[in-house]
A = this chain, B = another copy of it.
Amino acid sequence: MTRSKDPLQTGRTEIRVRYAECDPMGVAHHTVYPVWFEMGRTELCRDSGISYRELESSGVFLAVVRLEVRYDAPARYDDRLELETSLVRATRVKLEHAYELHRDGLRLTRATSTLASLNANGRPQALPDALLERFGG
């Protein structure tokens, strides 16, 4: 197990807010942000040379078991946002990520999530060593 104040990995993803993602208040609906966080994790994986798509093909599934989001300011249609995704902790069975979403330097959202490593039947399954190493855990 590895834990530190410094993230094991950090990556950035640019996001353009879609019209379909906005609600009658004219802002991005609060359920859309976790979709973006998932995009951040996909890109972070790719940065480590891991394709999450191939991971699933090989029988490793990472399922969100906990999610916490704090919404500080709204995002609007066509906004260009910068998402920072960090892997903050990696064990054989769990991955913890942290997220910060900004627009022009203003922080809109902070979030954390925990992913569990599962097999194709949804049962806990230890991450392969090689994979855990790539994640820096």
B-binding segment of A68-76, A81-89, A90-98: A68-76
Residues of A near any B CB (own CB < 8 A) = 16, 18-20, 22-27, 29-32, 34-35, 38-39, 42, 51-53, 56, 61, 63-72, 74, 76-78, 122
A-B contact pairs, 24 of them (CB 8 A): A16-B39, A18-B38, A19-B23, A20-B29, A22-B23, A23-B24, A25-B56, A25-B61, A25-B63, A25-B122, A27-B122, A30-B63, A30-B64, A31-B32, A31-B35, A31-B38, A42-B78, A51-B78, A53-B76, A53-B77, A66-B69, A66-B70, A67-B68, A67-B71
Cβ–Cβ < 8 Å partners of A22 in chain B = 23-24
Name the CB-closest residue of B to A120. B25
Cβ–Cβ < 8 Å partners of A56 in chain B = 24-25
Q: How many copies does the complex hold?
A: 4
